[in-house]
Amino acid sequence: MSSTPTDLDATGLVADVVRSSVVDGPGHRYVVFLQGCNFDCLACHNPQTIPGHAPLEGHRPRHRSVADLLDDIRTVAPLLRGITVSGGEPTQQWHFVRSLFGAIKADPVLGRLTCFVDSNGSCPNATWDALAPVLDGAMIDLKCLDPVRHRALTGQGNDEVLSSIRRLHELGRLHEVRLLLVEGHNDDPELVAATARWLADLQPTMRIVLIGLRTHGIRPTEPPLRETSAQVLDRTADTLRRAADFELQVI
């Protein structure tokens, strides 16, 4: 039975929480990392959240209720600007996300906090339609515009990802698109230019976060992935700046 948007007893399988983060959305945020993902990304920094991967020592996902999380959020609420649900992939447990965000919106103290998701975008548009009433913003990772290369990077196609970006834009809930550069996989200049055109056609002032790959913490691959060079990062940023008046952040 689907949980209602304010169901305090609704539970989700939680991998971890971080009580104060400044890298998971605007301002200081309480971050809930959910267990489970429908991608199997080569460059994943949280592979323990993917089914079938060996857990990290001490990694013990557990079911937590909305009420339990709200009690914890209240202990740090004065320091926070909002809540972000990440993963894993939060849309895999969207009923729980809707219940959590609905309860936050209904709470007289916590209601001022913004509610964001950090998602790979691989879900039906109906999921975003269901979340929209309690969602302030979505940060979507676009791994690759080319579907073949996207599958090589993630194990899945990108039709739903592109559709999600469009739908969130229509709903006014697209906070930003994140582009993680993986050298030799999605940094080809022609591909970057095509990606820039696709995004510019949707919204030429879109907020884009360009991220250079850091290899610390990712699982071993053969051949090993390389950290994104400053040259590749600068070249890609220049291409994006020439394409449109994007609000571009490079990290």
pLDDT tens digit sequence for 195-232? 999 999 999 999 999 999 998 878 888 889 999 999 99
Which of 106, 168, 171 is CA-nearest to residue 142?
A: 168
Q: Tell how far CA 237 is from the center of its chain.
A: 21
Which of 69-78, 99-108, 155-164, 221-230 has the lowest average pLDDT?
A: 221-230
Q: Give the whole-angstrom CA distance, residue 209 versus residue 220.
A: 25
Looking at the predicted structure, is the pLDDT value of residue 234 above 80? yes
Residue 4 has pLDDT above 60, yes or no: no
Determine the Cα–Cα distance for residues 83 and 113; give it in Å rounded to an integer.
7
What is the band of 3 on the pLDDT scale with cuts at 50, 70, 90? Answer: very low
Mean of pLDDT values over 52-57: 62
pLDDT of residue 56: 60
Give pLDDT tens digits for 154-204. 999 999 999 999 999 999 999 999 999 999 999 999 999 999 999 999 999
Q: How far is CA 214 from CA 8, 46, 220, 234, 251, in A?
A: 38, 13, 13, 16, 10
